[in-house]
Structure 1
Amino acid sequence: MALGLGGFRYTDAVMWQSLLFFILLSSRSALGQISYSISEEMPKGSMVGNIAQDLGLDLKRLKSGKARAFFGDNPEYIELNKDRGMLLIKETIDREFLCAKATLCALHLQMILENPIEMYTITVEVTDINDNSPLFQTEEIRFEISEAAIPGARFMLERAMDADVGINDLQSYSLKPTDHFVLELENHADGGKSVQMILQKPLDREKQEKLTLLLTAMDGGEPALSGTVQIHVNVLDVNDNAPVFMQKVYKASIIENSPKGSKLTAVSASDADEGINGQVTYYISNTDKNVKDLFIINLNSGEITLNGHIDYEKTTHFQFDIQAKDQGGLSDSCKIMIDVLDINDNKPAITILSMSTSISEESPPGTIIAMIKVNDPDSGANGQVHCTVSEHIPFIINSPSNNFFSMLTVHELDREREAEYNITVTCSDEGLHHYPPALLSIYTYQM
Structure 2
Amino acid sequence: MGAARKGCWGRRQRALLCCVLVAAWEAAWGQLRYSVPEELPKGSFVGDVAKDLALQPAKLRDRGAPDGEKRPELVLAKALDREEAAFHELVLRAIDGGEPARTGTARIRVSVLDANDNAPMFSQAVYAVHVPEDVPVGSTLVTLTATDVDEGINGDVKYSLKTATDVASETFHLDHETGSIMLVRSLDFEEDDSYHLEAQAQDGGGLFDTATVSISVTDVNDNAPELTVSSACRS
TM-score bracket for the superposition, by shorter chain length: 0.5 to 0.7
Contact 1:353 1:371 in 2 (8 A): no
**What secondary structure, in the 3-state scheme, does the structure 1 residue paired with 2:145 have?**
strand
Contact 1:266 1:304 in 2 (8 A): yes
2:120 counterpart of 1:348: yes
Aligned to 1:232: none
Aligned to 2:152: 380
Aligned to 2:214: 441
Contact 1:362 1:412 in 2 (8 A): yes
Distance 1:365 1:353, change over 3 A: farther
1:71-82 matched pairs, under 5 angstroms: none
- RCO higher in structure (CA 8 A, sep ≥6): 2
2:199 counterpart of 1:425: yes
Contact 2:27 2:102 in 1 (8 A): no
Aligned to 1:315: 85
Q: Partners in 2 of 1:380 and 1:325 — Cα distance?
A: 42
Contact 1:352 1:371 in 2 (8 A): no
**What secondary structure, in the 3-state scheme, does the structure 2 residue paired with 1:352 have?**
coil
Q: Spell out, residue by residue over 1:229-262, the C-alpha distance to the aligned partner (whole angstroms, 9 max, x if none).
A: xxxxxxxxxxxx96244x8333322110011101
2:174 counterpart of 1:397: yes
Aligned to 1:248: 30
More strand by share: 1
Contact 2:194 2:217 in 1 (8 A): yes
Offset at residue 272 of structure 1 (A): 5.7
Contact 1:361 1:414 in 2 (8 A): yes
Provide the identity percentage: 22
Aligned to 1:337: 109
Aligned to 1:105: none
Distance 1:135 1:382, change over 3 A: closer
Q: Spell out, residue by residue over 1:15-63, the C-alpha distance to the aligned partner (whole angstroms, 9 max, x if none).
A: xxxxxxxxxxxxxxxxxxxxxxxxxxxxxxxxxxxxxxxxxxxxxxxxx
Mark the runs of 5 or more structure 2 residues left unpaired by the alignment. Answer: 10-23, 221-235
Aligned to 1:306: 76
Equivalent AA in structure 1 for residue 26 of structure 2: P
Aligned to 1:412: 186
Provide the aligned length of Structure 1 versus Structure 2. 188
More helix by share: 2
Question: TM-score by structure 1 length?
Answer: 0.37
Mark the runs of 5 or more structure 1 residues left unpaired by the alignment. Answer: 1-131, 138-160, 162-240, 281-299
Q: CA RMSD in A?
A: 3.3
Aligned to 2:233: none
Q: Partners in 1 of 2:132 and 2:61 — Cα distance?
A: 91
Equivalent AA in structure 2 for residue 364 of structure 1: P
1:201-280 matched pairs, under 5 angstroms: 243-245=26-28, 248-268=30-50, 269=55, 278-279=63-64
Q: Partners in 1 of 2:186 and 2:112 — Cα distance?
A: 51
Offset at residue 273 of structure 1 (A): 9.0
Q: Partners in 2 of 1:242 and 1:425 — Cα distance?
A: 62
Aligned to 2:232: none
Q: Partners in 1 of 2:45 and 2:175 — Cα distance?
A: 45
Contact 2:170 2:185 in 1 (8 A): no
Offset at residue 355 of structure 1 (A): 4.2
Distance 1:395 1:136, change over 3 A: closer
Aligned to 1:182: none
Aligned to 1:325: 95
Contact 1:354 1:370 in 2 (8 A): no
1:148-227 matched pairs, under 5 angstroms: none
Contact 2:88 2:111 in 1 (8 A): yes
Contact 2:122 2:144 in 1 (8 A): yes
Equivalent AA in structure 1 for residue 206 of structure 2: L
Question: TM-score by structure 2 length?
Answer: 0.66
